[in-house]
Structure 1
Amino acid sequence: MSSSVAPAPVAVSWRPLVAACLGTFLLLVYTTIVTVALPRIGADLGSDFTALQWIVDVFTVALAGLLLGMGSLSDNLGRKRVYLAGLGTFGLATLVCGLAGSVTVLIAARAVQGIAGAAMFATILPLVGLTYHGRARARAFAVWGTVAGVGGAIGTVAGGAIAELLGWRWIFLGSLPLCAVALVLGFSSFTESERTGNRVDFPGIAAFTVAATALTYAVINGGDHGFTAPGTLIAALVAVIALVAFVFFERVSAAPMVPSSLFGTSAFVGVLVIAFGYYFAAFGAVPVLSHWLQGTTGLSPLGTSLVLTSQVMTFFFTSALISDRLHRYRPGAVLGGATVLIGLGCATAAAVLGSPGWVALLPALLLTGLGAGMVSPVFPAVAIAAVPAAFGGTAGAAANSSRQLGLALGIALCGTIYRGHGENATGGVASTMLCCAALAVLSGLVGAWLLRGHRS
């Protein structure tokens, strides 16, 4: 008789996942970490509120505008190569941010951070997918999603604490050792992907980035100089022309960033609407709230961070505790309903008109954190499931790009509304949050309608 011995299971190395999670954490922390520190940065560098908005917005605009294009570029050049180049550039830009002697240098360095971040964000998940298979892949994606949520949420809290205890420059300088460790881990852990040799849609990348930047500039400049000012009108015209050019390039390109056929899928469009609306409403007003809490209510950066932590913690625990259960229900009901809930939460911030203190903001922060915690873990999977399997990566990247664009335009429009109230800062907060409420409710209803009948 012969006996067969089952082969010993191959041990799975989690070193590449650690490398991916560390890179993701660094990237997403910097989407929010400067928010609470903006007043300190402005006082130190002598900049006004408009310039401070660009410190946040230029990062998110670059990230949103280049995310899809970097995915195409990595297919052509190799994902590991593009990721490591992005991470190295991100570290150098972070160093320049920490040493910046003027707001202009800081904004420029933040733009480079955003460009490098797009290279990282576009390649991290494909690298994880190449490394792990079967159950290990599912586990790796679950861990990565949790780290991504924590990274994006913890930045607001960490930024305020660091700014008060160590100074705002340490927001950037303190992360340099982590950048170095992430670079070493990435170099030694990831396996290079095969190059596809596909063409890169450079015209589409340029047109989309110009459109996003010009539209953001038009909103911010309109708040400063009026929406009929020449600079505002020119920027708006450039945005329209660039958007039309983007649509044209995508229709005629042999290798478009986003195949035009995907926009004929109502569920895919619904996810884009949800991604834009929920991130705009839940987080676009955070710089305004930070400015109001420190300038009107007299809270310190650390105290402001602690108040905003209520949103962060609600987001985190909601995402961690019920995200698995949410996948059992219809995506339209979950994503649309949660986005409407964010809108209702934003509307409760009108309570500051009767009680201008941080306590009046708590219901808004808790409800928006709850709603965002429901949307965030669900919408990427729905985006991928909404299109043919061959376009799953593109759909996921497009959804993330829409989310970042929502944040960039949310910060711009909320800042414009806030500044428009002049010395009546409390009225500015109420108007800002009501605008977010209207957009979230509309996005939730439209998204739910587009997703009707779809199952992920």
Structure 2
Amino acid sequence: MRSALDLTPAPPAPASWRPLVAACLGTFLLLLYATIVTVALPRIGAELGGGFGARQWIVDVFTVALAGLLLGMGSLSDNLGRKRVYLLGLVIFGLATLACGLAGSAAVLIAARAVQGVAGAAMFATILPLVGLTYTGRARARAFAVWGTVAGAGGAVGTAAGGVLAELLGWRWIFFASLPIWVLSLALAVTSLRESDRTGKRIDFPGIATFTVAVSALTFAVINGGDRGWAAPGTVLGAAIAVVALVAFVLAERAHPAPMVPAKLFGTPAFVGVLVVAFAYYFAAFGALPVLSLWLQDTTGLSPAGTSLALTVQVVVFFLTSALISDRLHRLPPGRVLGGATVLIGLGCATGLAALAAPNWVALLPALVLTGLGAGMVSPVFPAVAIAAVPASYGGTAGAAANSSRQLGLALGIALCGTLYSGHSGSPTGAIVLVLLFCAGVALVGGVLTAWLLRPRTRDLLPVTRDVRPRT
């Protein structure tokens, strides 16, 4: 017990883990909904109607909004305060989730899912820098590893849980069941997260608008191309808008005094490598899950619950990998870990060739095991590498850009895999093998390129355990 006259400063108290729990709960919820409707799509379609394109949008509109607005929400939070933006996003997310469960038509469900994605972008853009405000040194490295594991697991758990809930309780419970978790997450966030300082810099509205339009138009063009044809007016218009918006984004970033993504960051190989691995590993590991679910139910005859159990193999391997070896991975060169793990995901996807000989769920087990192993290696390491890849003052920008690239990989993965699958519907098993081989190609190219970009050159890529301080 300290004396009242003892003026010696007390040793600093260890950082509470309540802020990390709050961050992980919110992150888990929003990424859960990137994939939780996957296995339930046949049940949703049977009740609400809508063709293959509408079912794709039920999955993809959430991810498109998330990817398109991540950078913009990060920029807004610089002025408004990250905790304020996160809490606003979390409140709207819960209300949109309730609206999804009450939806009476496919159009209403798609609209509510879009609002979920917008709110999720506000959450995802701010939560990693908020974690960085709370922890330092080794505690920060551990916090990033835990957060990365949860972020990677959210999508995988969503795929597994969605089918079970849809079969046992009905598809609407995929939305209702998470509301108690949302309430707990909100209470913890309000009471434990710290507010960031405001920068007072000008908001890059042109950059926000042009980037969002580019991502949305590109994804629309891919989905519409698979549903209506690549020469359809909507497809051509969507592709043209995407190109124009992308050019406009580059010009806007060059002209703005405080751009969302400073052009000089793209001259940093480590930063580019982080963007590449984020896109490639999420695309390949999780982009094919919606069509895998459809194939397992429509072609092999598995029930939604059976499909969820089969896909849970990936989740189990993911969790075991992250829990057992993530600490050791942080001690290895980031390029070898991230590049090698992404190549492993590609090799796992390539094993889907086995479905040609035995078109059943057992043929997918090697693919599910290897992609779960690779994703379980990338996810715990990825967040710290993203922030350490750039100067400390750009840590928040790097984190937002990397997460945006990851969600863009998922959005385009879902869209392109759906397009390939629907375009070869006459031979479902051949189509699913083509999808997996395509994912394998993306992962193999991405993994090799990542290893090259993240290879040690000088001291531009720092160890992932350094005490990086995201922008505040």
State whether residues 278 and 403 of structure 2, in contact with CA within 8 Å, keep that contact through their aligned partners in structure 1.
yes
Post-superposition Cα deviations, 1:64-95, rounded to whole Å, max 9, x if no partner, equal 11111111111101112111110110011001
Q: Is it true that 1:409 corresponds to 2:412 in the alignment?
A: yes
Equivalent runs, 1:312-323 vs 2, <5 Å: 312-323=315-326
How much does 1:144 deviate? Answer: 2.9
Q: Is it true that 1:108 corresponds to 2:111 in the alignment?
A: yes
In structure 2, give the amino acid aligned to 1:42: G
For the residue of structure 1 that corresponds to 2:252, the secondary structure is: helix
Tell me how far apart the structure 2 counterparts of residues 314 and 443 of structure 1 sit (CA, whole Å): 22
48-57 or 413-422: bigger deviation: 48-57
150-159 or 77-86: bigger deviation: 150-159
351-360 or 10-19: bigger deviation: 10-19
Tell me how far apart the structure 1 counterparts of residues 349 and 130 of structure 2 sit (CA, whole Å): 37
Q: Work out which of the residue numbers 285, 305, 308 in structure 2 matches 1:305.
A: 308
Task: Give the match for residue 241 of structure 2.
Answer: 238
State whether residues 149 and 316 of structure 1, in contact with CA within 8 Å, keep that contact through their aligned partners in structure 2.
no
In the superposition, the TM-score normalised over structure 1's length comes to 0.95
Post-superposition Cα deviations, 1:303-348, rounded to whole Å, max 9, x if no partner, equal 0011101111111111221122122222222222221111111111
Q: Is it true that 1:451 corresponds to 2:425 in the alignment?
A: no
Closer/same/farther in 2, CA of residues 223 and 143 from structure 1, 3 Å limit: closer
Unaligned runs of 5+ in 1: none
Q: CA RMSD in A?
A: 1.9
State whether residues 145 and 380 of structure 2, in contact with CA within 8 Å, keep that contact through their aligned partners in structure 1.
no
Q: Work out which of the residue numbers 51, 55, 59 in structure 2 matches 1:52.
A: 55
- Identity rate, percent: 75
Post-superposition Cα deviations, 1:123-167, rounded to whole Å, max 9, x if no partner, equal 222223333445554444344334333333211111111011000
State whether residues 67 and 119 of structure 1, in contact with CA within 8 Å, keep that contact through their aligned partners in structure 2.
yes
How much does 1:12 deviate? Answer: 4.4
Unaligned runs of 5+ in 2: 464-472
In the superposition, the TM-score normalised over structure 2's length comes to 0.92
Task: Give the match for residue 424 of structure 1.
Answer: 427
Q: Work out which of the residue numbers 364, 367, 385 in structure 1 matches 2:367.
A: 364
Task: Give the match for residue 168 of structure 2.
Answer: 165
Closer/same/farther in 2, CA of residues 133 and 386 from structure 1, 3 Å limit: closer
Q: Work out which of the residue numbers 376, 392, 397 in structure 2 matches 1:394.
A: 397
How much does 1:281 deviate? Answer: 0.9
How much does 1:423 deviate? Answer: 2.7
Task: Give the match for residue 188 of structure 2.
Answer: 185
Equivalent runs, 1:20-419 vs 2, <5 Å: 20-134=23-137, 136-419=139-422
Closer/same/farther in 2, CA of residues 210 and 317 from structure 1, 3 Å limit: same
How much does 1:200 deviate? Answer: 1.2
How much does 1:422 deviate? Answer: 2.1
In structure 2, give the amino acid aligned to 1:85: L
Tell me how far apart the structure 2 counterparts of residues 426 and 15 of structure 1 sit (CA, whole Å): 47
State whether residues 63 and 114 of structure 1, in contact with CA within 8 Å, keep that contact through their aligned partners in structure 2.
yes
In structure 1, give the amino acid aligned to 2:172: R
Tell me how far apart the structure 1 counterparts of residues 185 and 172 of structure 2 sit (CA, whole Å): 21
167-176 or 186-195: bigger deviation: 186-195
State whether residues 153 and 316 of structure 1, in contact with CA within 8 Å, keep that contact through their aligned partners in structure 2.
no
Q: What is the number of equivalent residue pairs in this alignment?
A: 455
330-339 or 250-259: bigger deviation: 330-339
Tell me how far apart the structure 2 counterparts of residues 264 and 85 of structure 1 sit (CA, whole Å): 34
